[in-house]
Amino acid sequence: MSQPGPVGRRQRVLRVAELIPADLAEVNRRAARLPARIGAATAAVPSGTLLTLECYRRRWDLRPRRRVLARLARLLAEIEADTSQLLIVAAAIVADRKVLVARRSHPARLAGRWEFPGGKAERGETVRSAIVREIAEELGCRIEVEGELARHRLDDRSTLVLVRARLAADSPAPSALEHSELRWLRPAEFAELDWVDSNRQFLPDVTAQLSVSATVPPQGARAYEPRVRRTPNDRVGMDRC
């Protein structure tokens, strides 16, 4: 990373900061190419990397402050564009040695295929907070996350993470708010479905989990026509799932 010398009496400092959904090492490598007199400080956090850029200004530097801050903001945006990762989360909701699966209703090329429900993490979200929110939005129920089952890189810039979860004790039954159908399945039934390719690779992990553990009986899945449905544009990133 770029590291200007210590701030002296004849220097002033302007700073901008942003939480970037990217790996710390990648951000550090990109920050090392910053121009002279631009410093960078990074810190790993559960949802990515906190990046702070600093400009050390001489007392006689008469450039407007807003112009310097705008330049720092542009540099920060460039680093984010070069390093940010798309995090997609999905849940294997387990009950009585069965797992809840959902059939896609859109986009057209994925409609009718099956997946573990989930979606794209938003800025600042951890895997746990993102999947809890997504399940509430898609299924109208509350879950308790028990741990991560597996993760797979979809490409250089996106990762799909599958967690094991169970319905919260006071949760309503899952409903197909954004899918065309929900089912509780045993591993022997997995082969009967046409899976979304990126979710198919998780089947051995889920099968292994279901073969050795059980939780509370399922509350049942019911499907109905949703009153409000997301458009394909609202599910950016999930098209890869």
Strands (E), 9-157: 11-20, 38-45, 48-58, 86-95, 98-103, 114-115, 118-120, 143-155
More confident residue, 210 or 132: 132
For residue 37, what pLDDT band results from cuts at 50, 70 and 90?
confident
Options 3.30.70, 1.10.10, 3.40.1350, 2.60.40; CATH for 11-83 is 3.30.70
For residue 4, pLDDT over 50 is answered with no
C-alpha separations of 130 from 33, 47, 139, 199, 222 in Å: 32, 10, 14, 18, 23
Residues of the chain with CATH 3.30.70: 11-83
CB 84, CB 22: distance < 8 Å: yes
Task: In whole angstroms, give the CA distance from residue 138 to residue 91.
Answer: 12
pLDDT at 36: 83
The full length of the chain comes to 241
For residue 6, pLDDT over 80 is answered with no
Domain 86-240 has CATH 3.40.50.2000: no
Residues of the chain with CATH 3.90.79.10: 86-240
For residue 23, pLDDT over 70 is answered with yes
For residue 10, what pLDDT band results from cuts at 50, 70 and 90?
low
